Copies of this chain bind each other. A is one copy, B any other.
Amino acid sequence: MSAPVKAVDSTTTCAGMMHDLGRRAKEAARVLALAPTHQKDHALTAMADECRARGRDILFANAQDLAEARKTGASAAFLDRLALDDRRVAAMADGLAVVRELDDPVGNVMERWKRPNGMTIERVRVPLGVIGIIYESRPNVTADAAALSLKAGNAAILRGGSESHRTNRAIHGALAAALGKSGLPATAIELVPTRERAAVGMMLAGLDGAIDVIVPRGGKSLVARVQEEARVPVFAHLEGVCHVYVDGTARLDMAKAIVLNAKMRRPGVCGAAETLLVDAAAAPSHLAPLVTALLDAGCEVRGDERARAVDARVRTATEEDWSTEYLDAVISARVVDGLDAAIAHIERYGSHHTDSIVTEDAGHATRFLREVDSAIVLHNASTQFADGGEFGFGAEIGIATGRFHARGPVGVEQLTTFKYRVHGSGQIRP
Please list the residues of chain A having a beta carbon within 8 angstroms of any beta carbon in chain B. 1-3, 30, 33-34, 107, 113, 115, 119, 121, 126, 128-129, 212-213, 233, 251, 254, 257-258, 260-262, 265, 347-348, 352, 365, 369-371, 373-382, 384-385, 387, 390-392, 403-405, 407-408, 417-429
Contact = CB atoms under 8 A, between A and B. Distances in A.
Contacts of A258: 426, 428
A381 B118 CA distance: 11
Nearest to A362: B423
A64 B347 CA distance: 45
A233 B380 contact: no
B1 A373 contact: yes
A142 to B, nearest CB: 24
A102 B58 CA distance: 58
A380 B420 contact: no
A378 B118 CA distance: 13
A96 to B, nearest CB: 24
A403 B128 contact: yes
A379 B424 contact: yes
A119 B403 CA distance: 24
Given A233-B404, A392-B115, A429-B265, A377 B424 contact: no
A370 B124 CA distance: 10
Contact of A419 (B119, B384, B408, B418): B408
A170 to B, nearest CB: 33
A385 B369 CA distance: 39
Contact of A392 (B113, B387, B403): B113
B34 A423 contact: no
A30 B3 CA distance: 37
A1 B350 CA distance: 11
Contact of A377 (B213, B407, B422): B422
B378 A424 contact: yes
Contacts of A347: 2, 30
A396 B375 CA distance: 26
Contacts of A418: 407
